[in-house]
Structures are given as C-alpha cells and as structure tokens.
Amino acid sequence: MWSLLLIIGVLLAACGQPTPSGAVHVSRLADDIGPVSANFIDRALDRAEEHGATAWVLMLDTPGGLISSTDKIVQRLLAAEVPVVVFVSPAGARAASAGTFITMAAHVAAMAPNTQIGAAHPVAGGGEDIEGDLNKKVTNDAAADIRGIAEVRGRNAEWAEEAVRESVSITGAEAVELNVVDLTANDLDDLLAQIDGMEVQLKPDGPMVALQVAEAERVETDYTLVERILDVIANPTVAFILLGLGQLALVIELWSPGLVGPGIFGVIMLIAGFFALGPLDTNPAGIALIVLAVVLFAVEIFVAGFGVFGIGGIVALILGGLILMSDTSVDAEEVSLWGLIVVGGAAAVVVGGIGLLLAIDRRKPKWSPSGSGATIVGHEGTAHTTVSGHGTVVVDSELWSARAVSGLIPRTTPVRVVEMDGLTVVVEPMVPVEIVESDELGDGAVRRRL
C-alpha cells in the first residue's frame, strides 16, 4: 500500500507545474553536515542552474559536520553558476564549525538576529579532541582552507582563521562589523528586499551580476522522501546493525524454511543497510567481511563444523564493523561500540541457539534403509497429497514418499507409519476416510465409507 502511494506521489510530482525560469530558488538545511546534505545541496544547485535561477538561497542552521562533506559543499558553492545566498536563520540558529565554511563560501552571506557563526576548530567523529601531530595537521589544513575561502569572497580572512584555531564565535551583528558576513535580515522577505539590485561576481575574472530578486517567483527545493530516509539511516552504526540483523534473519530462514517472516525482513534490512552505506565512504574490506559472515553462518547450518564456522562468522562480522569506516577522514563517524555489542550479541545468541538445536538433532537416531534404527515406524503425520499407490506425507516435519496400506487416503488426513519399504513409508489413516474404489479421481468414481 505504502509503495503504491509513494509511486503515485512521485508521478504527481513529475506531472506538476514546470519550474519557472528566473525564479529565486530556496532550500532549507537544519541538520548536521554529512553525505546526504552534501548530495542535497548539489541537487538543489543543479536544479537552480538548470532553470536559470536569479539566485539560490540556502537557509542554514547547523552545528557542524564532516570535513569531507563540507569540502564537497564548499567546492560546489565556489563553482556555482548562479548567485548563492546563505542565510543563517531563523533567530537562534547557528552556522557552527562546518556551517562557518559554507556561509563564507556564499556570494552573499547573511544572518538573522540572535544567530551565531564560528567555533570551527576540527574535532574527531565522536566529538572528542584530536591529539598530537594529527591535530596540528588537521587544524593547519582547515585554517588554510577557510582563509582561502574568505579571500576568494573578499571576507575577513584573519577572523576566519581564528575561528578554526581558537574556536571563536560571534553574533550576526558582530559578523557584519568584522566583514565576516554581508548583512543581517529578519526573515526571507527582508533578506530579498535588502539584496535586490546587489551585484556579485560569480567567477573571479567574470562580470558582475545584479540580483533581481524582489519580485521574482520563489521555488522551494527540499529534501526528497529518499533523502529524508537516508538522513536517518546513513550512519555507520545504523547501517552495520541493519546488515548484521538482516543476515541473521536470513540464517534463521535457512535453518527453518517454513518461517517466511524472517527471510522477508532479512532481505529488507539488508537492502536498507547497503542503501545506507551508499553515500558513505566505506572500506571495501569491511563490507567483504560482513558478506563473508553470512556465508559462514549458512555453512554452519549445513555442515557439521562443531561451531567453528559460526564462531568464524561472528568474528568476521565484528571485524567488518570495526574496519567499515577505517579509511575515511579523521572526523568521520565509525561503528560505535554499542552497535558492535548489539550485533555481536545477537549473532552469538542466534548462531549458538541454532548450533545447539542442530547438535541435539544430530544426536537423535535416524532411520536407515538397512533397517537399523527404524524409529519412524509408528510416527504420525499428515497426508501431503492424496495417497494411494503413491503420494507424499509429512512426518516429523519431513516430506516422505508414501503409499497407503489399502485404498486411497485424501490429502490432509492424519496418518500413521506402519512400515518402511526402502525409502517409501507405508501409512494407514488415523480417522475414518472416504476410500475411492477406482484408480481415477474423476466424477464417476464410486466411493464408500469405512
């Protein structure tokens, strides 16, 4: 049902009103800076350029984010073919850390009253300080980067470097005085009224372009449904949990094929997990180990490995999580300890439980054609098909070739095994049944009641 509604929504959006040329395109970003937000900004700017927008306005409120994603956004803003306006709003918003880089990269930078900008010193992915020589390296690199951005846009390069090295932060009014941003505005209407007629230079050697925005139509470009979902799950820990639990659900399905639910949910979680990894910079070795884990879990079910394959699968799964994000930038998030504990613990419970049940099952005496241990004789089951001279029955959750002692046994009739004939069980009905006195099941068959 939801899939149908989503398809209808996409089709309706595609058939909507065409995007007008020369409009002011407006987007809002109130979130951490990451791969999803970087892709969103790229898409929004693409749309503005494609339709010849008069300007593209990004209303920004962010505590910061990943250096790698910030670099992509800044590069995209510096290469924009339409005027870019970054507006830190509404009141109380901030352009902290990565937001400082993005704001200063705009052709026009504005802030609402009671907003902040700065505190751009780099930290690690978990928010902790970066220690030693690596701290110097990352800080120097970020300082040089933001100084270059400020110089390109004609803004206060000294303050920008100080925001990185000393984590200084200032208000909108102070930012205007220090030539960090161009102006303050109460809201979007006030912003467009103030910048109407302002001239900006899109390229360092290019001509000046006048902003004609006061009377222009406005076009909103917001997150799509897919981007909103990705914004929630595009996290190494979430992706790892989805992949780990998804493959465990498939293992349960392989162990007990009659359980349809685990397999369906397992496939859904695996798809969601790999979907979440899509925008992230992942280590291929980590993904390979996670895939190896599910193979080892499956082998444990079908091969008497005394738990070796299952333990190997758990180790591969945890190692995969540990190195999943190991080759990303210094501030990138990694799979958290609690994520490893959740998935590793679930794997130990599922694989250990299945292994215990398999060990118990393998110790049970089995029937053999030679007649030794013919324990299935006397067991009860159900006719899987109509049984006469041949057919099939289910006994002890196993499907057997069968024939009836006499007459015909209808499908679903409870039966009892009375003897074995090679690999065929001979069964008798446990309840009164209709017996067909003909080998045919046509309409003319003569029936009598036992």
Check whether residue 356 and residue 384 sit in a common domain: no
Q: Does some domain include residue 14?
A: no
337 or 8, which is more confident? 337
Please state the domain count of the chain: 3
Q: Does some domain include residue 371?
A: no
- pLDDT tens, 368-403? 444 444 568 889 999 988 888 888 998 887 888 899
Last residue of a domain, one of 190, 222, 254: 222
Nearest one of 150, 160, 172, 30 to 97, comparing CA atoms: 160
Range of the domain at 83: 21-222
Whole-number pLDDT of residue 281: 66
Last residue of a domain, one of 222, 251, 270: 222
Whole-number pLDDT of residue 225: 87
Mean pLDDT calculated for residue range 8-31: 72
Give the CATH number, domain containing residue 164.
3.90.226.10
Check whether residue 309 and residue 423 sit in a common domain: no
Check whether residue 260 and residue 208 sit in a common domain: no
Mean pLDDT calculated for residue range 49-63: 95
Q: Does some domain include residue 8?
A: no
Q: Does some domain include residue 2?
A: no
The C-alpha atoms of residue 401 and residue 407 are separated, in whole angstroms, by 16
Q: Does some domain include residue 405?
A: yes
Check whether residue 256 and residue 393 sit in a common domain: no
- Mean pLDDT highest for which of 179-193, 251-265, 300-314, 364-378? 179-193
Whole-number pLDDT of residue 76: 95
pLDDT above 50 for 156: yes
Whole-number pLDDT of residue 129: 61
76 or 368, which is more confident? 76
Mean pLDDT calculated for residue range 263-287: 77
Check whether residue 304 and residue 384 sit in a common domain: no
Check whether residue 92 and residue 216 sit in a common domain: yes
Whole-number pLDDT of residue 35: 86
Check whether residue 67 and residue 164 sit in a common domain: yes
Last residue of a domain, one of 222, 242, 262: 222
Check whether residue 67 and residue 203 sit in a common domain: yes
Q: Does some domain include residue 445?
A: yes
Q: How confident is the model at residue 40 (pLDDT cuts 50, 70, 90)?
A: very high
pLDDT above 70 for 150: yes
93 or 122, which is more confident? 93
Whole-number pLDDT of residue 127: 54
Q: Does some domain include residue 370?
A: no
Mean pLDDT calculated for residue range 139-157: 93
Check whether residue 107 and residue 181 sit in a common domain: yes
The C-alpha atoms of residue 170 and residue 421 are separated, in whole angstroms, by 90
Whole-number pLDDT of residue 13: 47
Q: How confident is the model at residue 441 (pLDDT cuts 50, 70, 90)?
A: very low
* Strand 116-118 with 24-29, pairing: unpaired
Whole-number pLDDT of residue 126: 54
pLDDT above 80 for 317: yes
Check whether residue 188 and residue 329 sit in a common domain: no
Q: How confident is the model at residue 178 (pLDDT cuts 50, 70, 90)?
A: very high
Q: Does some domain include residue 13?
A: no
Mean pLDDT calculated for residue range 84-105: 95
The C-alpha atoms of residue 342 and residue 241 are separated, in whole angstroms, by 8
Check whether residue 107 and residue 216 sit in a common domain: yes
Average the pLDDT over each of 339-343, 357-361, 436-440 and give the range with the smallest value.
Answer: 436-440
Check whether residue 173 and residue 313 sit in a common domain: no
Average the pLDDT over each of 116-125, 182-191, 416-425 and give the range with the smallest value.
Answer: 116-125
What pTM was computed for the model?
0.66
pLDDT above 50 for 440: no
Whole-number pLDDT of residue 217: 94
